[in-house]
Structure 1
Amino acid sequence: MARQNIAIVTGGDTLEAASSAASARNVHEHLDPARFNRFLISVENWKWRLVQADGMDAAQLADARIDLADFTLAVGADRIRFDAAFIAIHGAPAETGHLQAYFELVGLPYTGSGILASALAMDKQSCKHFLAHALGIPTPVHRYVTDGEEAFDPAAPGIAFPCIVKPNSYGSGMGVALVADRQALERAVKRIHALGQDILIEQFICGREFTVGALMLDGKIEILPIAEVFRPDHSAALHEVGEVVFTDRQSAELGLDPDLPDGCKERLCDLTARIGRAMNCRSFYRVDYMLDRDGGVYFLELNTIPGMTPRSVFTRQMERAGIGQADIYNRIVQDMLARSVAGG
């Protein structure tokens, strides 16, 4: 059987581009070269570049051009047609749904969730509202602040200092801060405005933080081992400077299969499965939660393209489940190709 041409698409238009590149390289390494011709392609501001391809030298890579009319690859006199795309971009234009829309226009199957699920999940406020109404899932009290509005004094019911300030449509924990006073709030708002983002201000849930990964293959959901996220004690920084600026979750400590109160593990797994089905997620996804001191579970956000680097939470959850990366990435491609043949 002839090998199929798979475009592993990376890059993106945000500060998450470096993480996207690391994820794409890892996927490239684990896709089976006996079954697939692997093409690592980067896109930034809709400018495409072939980075690596099986059997091509540096001169051929430099000469290669993507034809956007049909997403074919021209290398000299040869034209290569892709069978599918493996999307490994965190943030825009993939998690916003724009890249999926383009691939659907040119008729190319792709991994991950579709246009609507991607765009809705990336808009944190809209995703919270949808899941709260569709499934009755609790979420922290929050307020949405558009780019043109001034920072507000947290006086809305349920919101008080300290509170969480975050970009409404960004990932990897970038721009997220815990603030304790008005001055720190205004600093956080300015940083988020500099990213060109609207702002979400949330009630701070004092408790434990969890993230739950899931695979959705062959129409079935497999929930991966729960990970608990441990952050350094931030009480001193809050007292001294009024804020704690969070960073990429890959720098946080993780605990897999944590000790949980009775019924909590089952609730987290059930919520994660229900969210995946309600959002019509595909291939993989990851959901973040807070557990308050009274045992209440709060939905934070949904990530439709979780990190796939060797150090990523999702990767470590797969490994804890005893699932090899090569097995998963190859299964994801095969599942996507099967769905495209079946018209799903």
Structure 2
Amino acid sequence: MKKNIAILMGGYSSEFDISVNSGHVVYKHLDKSKYTPYRVIISKEDWYYLDEEEARHPIDRSDFSFHLNGDKITFDAAFNTVHGTPGEDGLLQAYFELLGIPQTACDFYQAALTFNKRDCISAVKPYGIPCATNYYLNKGDQVHVKEIINQVGLPCFVKANKSGSSYGVSKVKTAEEMLPAIEVAYKEDDEIIIESFLSGTEVSVGVIHYKGKDIVLPITEIVSENEFFDYAAKYEGKSQEITPARLSEEDRKKVEEIALKVYQILKMSGFSRSEYIFHNGIPHFIEMNTNPGLSEASILPQQAQKAGISLTELFSNAIEMCL
């Protein structure tokens, strides 16, 4: 008997449309001989099943079900493609845990930890994982520009602590640019992380749980036309994404070893995509995404296909592993 799978998409953040795009790709490629997929939109205003005629059917959040033609539809599992809150920060994971419905992303604690850039860095540093020098601010804190620059130097990056797709991120080159960059970051989150600039090759590393094993996918090298891998570079073609990355065998092994170690230190499951910069020849961990983009052009699907894993196989595996 085919399993009913809710494909969760949308969310409460600026990444709503990106998430919907990922969800539609999963819907398109999911093996219909094994699963009956349902597109479920999660928004601040409403949760609903979107049928083929684009009609909306409200989700009963007490048990995550809905009614269709007089029948109550329940789900065997949820495929979580919600970027940002509540799908990537642990809220949906905890909700489904309480209901006893398996979902494809990592567990709620790992999601909350990795979504918080500051906490994630604090968790991996004691294990010897190289990271940038950081400075933290909370909304309402006094801003001491000289103190920040003394700690992290210039140029530096000002980032919203809990945000994705490079929303709320600025590269700061002068002291005068610091306060406007901080205001940009506060539009996305009430916490900020300011990082020292790392010069070197940037790579994106996918690590997934596949057929019962943690595996590192072929590495992607990021060559941005812009100052950094910002929204335009990610989604508007302003970058080259080269898979496999142009790394020496030694460097490839270095970053694979660190990426796998980080995945296992954090007790991850499901998909992950982490960013590293080779600063002075050493891969430095930047951040981890636990619900990475899943469009055909997104990095993790590109990496999977280079590894000989089709999108149908990738998505089927995610469901089987969570079940």
Which residue pairs with 2:230 in the alignment? 246
Structure 2 residue runs of 5 or longer lacking an equivalent are: none
Which residue pairs with 1:257 in the alignment? 244
Which residue pairs with 2:274 in the alignment? 287
CA contact (8 A) 2:41 2:47 kept: yes
How far has the Cα of 1:296 moved from its partner? 1.9
- Map 1:11-50 → 2, pairs under 5 A: 11-45=10-44, 47-50=46-49
Which residue pairs with 2:300 in the alignment? 314
| C-alpha distance 100-199 of structure 1, shift in aligned 2 (>3 A) | same
Which residue pairs with 1:341 in the alignment? none
- Map 1:1-344 → 2, pairs under 5 A: 2-45=1-44, 47-52=46-51, 57=53, 61-62=55-56, 64-133=57-126, 135-156=127-148, 158-232=151-225, 234=227, 246-248=230-232, 249-250=234-235, 251=237, 252-261=239-248, 263-292=250-279, 294-337=280-323
CA contact (8 A) 1:73 1:81 kept: yes
**Number of residue pairs aligned between Structure 1 and Structure 2:** 319
Q: Secondary structure at the match of 1:286?
A: strand
**Large movers: runs of 4+ above 3 Å:** 154-158
CA contact (8 A) 1:176 1:247 kept: no
CA RMSD of aligned residues (A): 1.8
Greater shift, 325-334 or 189-198, is seen at 189-198
How far has the Cα of 1:319 moved from its partner? 1.6
Aligned partner letter, 2:305: E
CA contact (8 A) 2:161 2:189 kept: no
| C-alpha distance 99-154 of structure 1, shift in aligned 2 (>3 A) | farther
TM-score (norm 2): 0.94
Cα deviations by residue, 1:53-102 (Å, 9 ceiling, x for unpaired): 6xxx55xx43x221111111122421011101000011000111000111
Aligned partner letter, 2:48: R
Which residue pairs with 1:340 in the alignment? none
Q: Secondary structure at the match of 1:155?
A: helix
Aligned partner letter, 1:269: E
| C-alpha distance 32-262 of structure 1, shift in aligned 2 (>3 A) | closer
Q: Secondary structure at the match of 2:111?
A: helix
- Cα distance in 2 for residues equivalent to 1:28 and 1:87: 12
How far has the Cα of 1:154 moved from its partner? 4.8
How far has the Cα of 1:7 moved from its partner? 0.3
Cα deviations by residue, 1:20-53 (Å, 9 ceiling, x for unpaired): 0000000001111111111000011272011136
Cα deviations by residue, 1:123-151 (Å, 9 ceiling, x for unpaired): 00110010001x21010000111011243
How far has the Cα of 1:260 moved from its partner? 2.1
- Cα distance in 2 for residues equivalent to 1:24 and 1:86: 9
- Cα distance in 2 for residues equivalent to 1:108 and 1:3: 16
CA contact (8 A) 2:6 2:38 kept: yes
Larger radius of gyration: 1
- Cα distance in 1 for residues equivalent to 2:5 and 2:226: 44
Identity %: 29
TM-score (norm 1): 0.88
Q: Secondary structure at the match of 1:40?
A: strand
Which residue pairs with 1:237 in the alignment? none
CA contact (8 A) 1:176 1:245 kept: no
Q: Secondary structure at the match of 2:158?
A: strand
- Cα distance in 2 for residues equivalent to 1:174 and 1:102: 26
Cα deviations by residue, 1:289-330 (Å, 9 ceiling, x for unpaired): 1111x2122110011111101111111111222211011101
How far has the Cα of 1:105 moved from its partner? 1.1
Aligned partner letter, 2:283: V
